[in-house]
Amino acid sequence: MTATLDTSRSELGDFLRSRRERLTPKAVGLPLGRRRRTPGLRREEVAELAGIGVDWYVRLEQGRSVSPSVTTVDALARALRLSKVEHAHLRDLTRNADRRAFVRETVPEALRRLVEDLNQPAYITGRRWDVLTCNKAADEIFAFGKLPEEDRNVLICILTLPATRRLFGEAWHDQARRVVAQFRATHDLWAADPAFVDLLSRLRRGCPEFGGWWKAHDVREAAAGRKRMAHPKKGVLSFEHASFRAEDDPALKLVIYTPV
């Protein structure tokens, strides 16, 4: 196996390190041994649990451009006690995909008309979570149309706009942290792209809580659920929400809110 330094793989190293530091020797059946200066397992302990060389694991945490086999990735997932979502994310991070520069997506006219004709709030986002189109019902709640195009982004709206904080009220903290964890899964695959770097910079400046959440490196998958909002004109609103990927372009995600 060979490895060369690749700074774009730093997200892989950070993800592995964050999961290693969360584990305790007791959780994986290891003796506590001598006093530990840092939290979590040692690198050599993870390597031993996964059945791989210590030097090889260190290279992975350093973000080097290495190509572990599927068997090695699965062994690391077991050693680090990864969830199903985290395991899938680890596989994505080790695929060495050759990605082109990010380009804002275009919504096909058929999809755009579909969204506009829906009675319930709906919008379509791209891989960077930019709001590419929305219908009147969604605009009446989230006011996407009043924002400049560079601000029409789900993360910008939820994390940095005071109006959205007020809209979610006491539920804002949990809602915001959830979307950060969901976005992390996509971001890590595009971390070096200027469009994603710029978005991350804006989120750090606009949301005091963001830095801590980002450092935790939580990863979650999108899931249907309920949201309760306090709209300044419409009063208390309750919705069930679900998202769907478009066959035309998997990067496009249709989000629909159904009143409860």
Per-residue model confidence as pLDDT tens digits over 165-207: 999 999 999 999 999 999 999 999 999 899 999 999 999 999 9
In a domain, 148, yes or no: yes
Domain end point (choices 93, 127, 150): 93
Q: Are residues 132 and 240 in the same domain?
A: yes
Q: Are residues 168 and 85 in the same domain?
A: no
How many domains, the chain? 2
In a domain, 100, yes or no: no
pLDDT band at 33 (very low <50, low <70, confident <90, very high): low
The whole-number average pLDDT for the span 247-254 is 91
In a domain, 85, yes or no: yes
Q: Percent of the chain scored above 70 by pLDDT? A: 92
Q: Are residues 248 and 186 in the same domain?
A: yes
In a domain, 102, yes or no: no
Q: Are residues 194 and 243 in the same domain?
A: yes
Domain end point (choices 54, 69, 93): 93
In a domain, 52, yes or no: yes
Domain end point (choices 63, 93, 123): 93
187, 154 contact by CB (below 8 A): no
pLDDT at 27: 82
Q: Are residues 234 and 127 in the same domain?
A: yes
Q: Are residues 146 and 51 in the same domain?
A: no
Q: Are residues 86 and 182 in the same domain?
A: no
pLDDT at 3: 37
Distance between CA atoms of 125 and 134, rounded to whole angstroms?
Answer: 9
pLDDT at 71: 93
251, 128 contact by CB (below 8 A): no
Range of the domain at 67: 4-93
- Residue with token string 């649990």: 49
Q: Are residues 162 and 213 in the same domain?
A: yes
76, 50 contact by CB (below 8 A): yes
pLDDT at 100: 79
pLDDT at 4: 34
In a domain, 240, yes or no: yes
Please name the residue ranges forming H helices in 80-193.
84-93, 109-117, 136-142, 154-160, 162-168, 172-187
CATH of the domain at 67: 1.10.260.40
Tokens at 40, concatenated:
């979590």
pLDDT at 73: 94
CATH of the domain at 170: 3.30.450.180
pLDDT at 2: 37
pLDDT at 1: 38
In a domain, 54, yes or no: yes
In a domain, 99, yes or no: no
Note the maximum CA span of the chain.
Answer: 65
- HSE (CB half, 13 Å, CA atoms) of 2? 1
Q: Are residues 77 and 113 in the same domain?
A: no
Q: Are residues 78 and 167 in the same domain?
A: no
The whole-number average pLDDT for the span 94-108 is 83
Q: Are residues 117 and 199 in the same domain?
A: yes
pLDDT in tens, 135-157: 999 999 999 999 999 999 999 99
Asked if residue 106 has pLDDT above 90, the reply is yes
pLDDT at 9: 73
Q: Are residues 88 and 133 in the same domain?
A: no
